[in-house]
Amino acid sequence: MSTGGQATELWLLWKRAYETTRAAIIADMSAASGLSESELSVLVCLHESGGVLRQNAIAAVLGWDRTRLSHLLTRMEKRDYVARGKVGNGVEVTLRPAGRRTIDASVPALEVSTRRHLLDRLDPGDATTLKAIVERLLSEDSR
Amino acid sequence: MSTGGQATELWLLWKRAYETTRAAIIADMSAASGLSESELSVLVCLHESGGVLRQNAIAAVLGWDRTRLSHLLTRMEKRDYVARGKVGNGVEVTLRPAGRRTIDASVPALEVSTRRHLLDRLDPGDATTLKAIVERLLSEDSR
DNA sequence: GACCCCCTGTTGACATGTCAACACCACCGT
DNA sequence: ACGGTGGTGTTGACATGTCAACAGGGGGTC
């Protein structure tokens, strides 16, 4: 039947589990706040940094392409979630009241949703192990 | 600094690790075969099932939306990777020679790539644990 | 058979992401 | 001051995904 090797098999399983979990969390968050996944990511970034960040820094934290962020911020600016201002070389992104209200409401909802779809489905030991594993994957960046 | 709870923190870490790994594997596979991630998924599905599947079944296996698959298959049909034929209620998707050649070449490349970016970065024990964890996430489908 | 309902898939409009080309500014050496 | 170079963002064309509306077959029930 399956001709995939060990590594492929693990990858496909991981992929499917991640995407299933992701879909569930996105659905929750979209219902709770009307935010898309990307918008939420950006707002969480800003929230955790006090509300102001260089566009550059956001892209780095999220591991995103500059272009993608630029397009997204253009859309978010229109909805008045954030403002952009030139700073020397680059651009500074600032959380605006509407964005702050939304993200303040979303952070607790996100914790509830991630707990329900992820943390509560794992044994306490597994949660610890999973965290260790992903941290190792992220740190061994001999990319 | 960060005001996220435990569950959110774990989720964001997992997300970042997954997306980083995914990007690396996609880059490899795109270079090796010219296939996009979605096309590869569909071809792997067909490959593992002997070359013929109901459109319905593909969507179920991949956990995809009907619409997405329909659009993608339309594009893949044009490139002659697959053919579609009506069967009773639904549609049967068949692997065509060009598609078969491509996937036959890609399966070994995928194993190499997933080994390099995922399996080899984990301790043997961690690999086993990760597999167990994702299988649990997938099976406890009290969705 | 006529009707109804569910399952399957398609279509078109729109949202989002990607890619390559470009514009701009800061810094550096001369 | 001048020109070069690298880092930063934007833009437009295109690829891909999502959503809601629709089309049509199968299998019930009467």
pLDDT in tens, B14-32: 998 999 899 999 999 999 9
Give residues with Cβ within 8 angstroms of B76, minimum separation 6.
Answer: B39, B42, B82, B99
Nucleic strand D contacts from chain B, 22-61, CB < 7 Å = 36-38
For residue A135, give the nearest of B15, B13, B131, B123 by alpha carbon: B13
As a whole number of Å, the end-to-end CA separation of chain A is 34
CA distance A112 to B5: 9
Q: Pick from A6, A114, A127: which is nearest to B8 by CB? A: A114
Angle between helix axes A37-48 and A55-62 (nearest 10 degrees) is: 110
CB-count burial class (<10 Å; 0-12, 13-18, 19+) for A103: buried
Chunked into runs of 10 residues, chain A (143 residues) has average pLDDT values of: 81 92 92 94 96 96 95 97 94 97 94 94 91 86 47
Asked if the model's pLDDT at residue B74 lies above 80, the reply is: yes
pTM of structure: 0.89
Would the CA dihedral through B40, B41, B47, B48 be positive or negative? positive
- Contact state of B4 with A127 under an 8 Å Cβ cutoff: no
Task: Indicate if CB(B73) is under 7 A from strand C.
Answer: yes
Residue A124 CA to D15 C1' — how many Å? 42
Tokens in use for A65?
Answer: 């392409």
Distance A40 CA to C17 C1' (A): 16
Instruction: Name the closest residue on chain B to residue A23, using Cα atoms.
Output: B63
Helix (H, G, I), strand (E, B) or coil at B91: strand
Beta-carbon-side half-sphere exposure of residue B22 (alpha carbons within 13 Å): 19
Structure confidence by residue, pLDDT tens digits, B125-140: 899 999 999 998 888 6
